[in-house]
Amino acid sequence: MQNIGGIAMKKDDCVNEKWSSRTVGLIVLPLAMALGFIGFLILPVVGIFFAVPLFILSFFFLAAPESKVCRLILRKGS
């Protein structure tokens, strides 16, 4: 266990952090696709206007880098 900045984190916490961000990304991605498809059929400009930020958000969560604390813990633990 590493104590950095008064917060104790374990390797499991880092793995859970990565999985939780990817899970949020995988939940938001189908919502963005559905909103984009439905919006494109009904009002193309408005649909794209609302779907694009959701696509960006989902890719941000899917490709989110590890926190600095997790990188340090995983590097020291190896």
C-alpha 69/C-alpha 36 separation (Å) is 36
Beta strands in 1-78 (DSSP E): 2-4, 7-9
C-alpha 50/C-alpha 37 separation (Å) is 11
Strand partners, 9: 2
- According to the model, what pLDDT value does residue 12 have? 72
Dihedral sign, CA of 52, 36, 32, 58?
negative
Nearest residue to 33 via CA among 13, 52, 20, 5:
52
pLDDT in tens, 9-62: 666 777 777 778 888 889 999 999 998 898 888 888 888 888 899 999 998 888
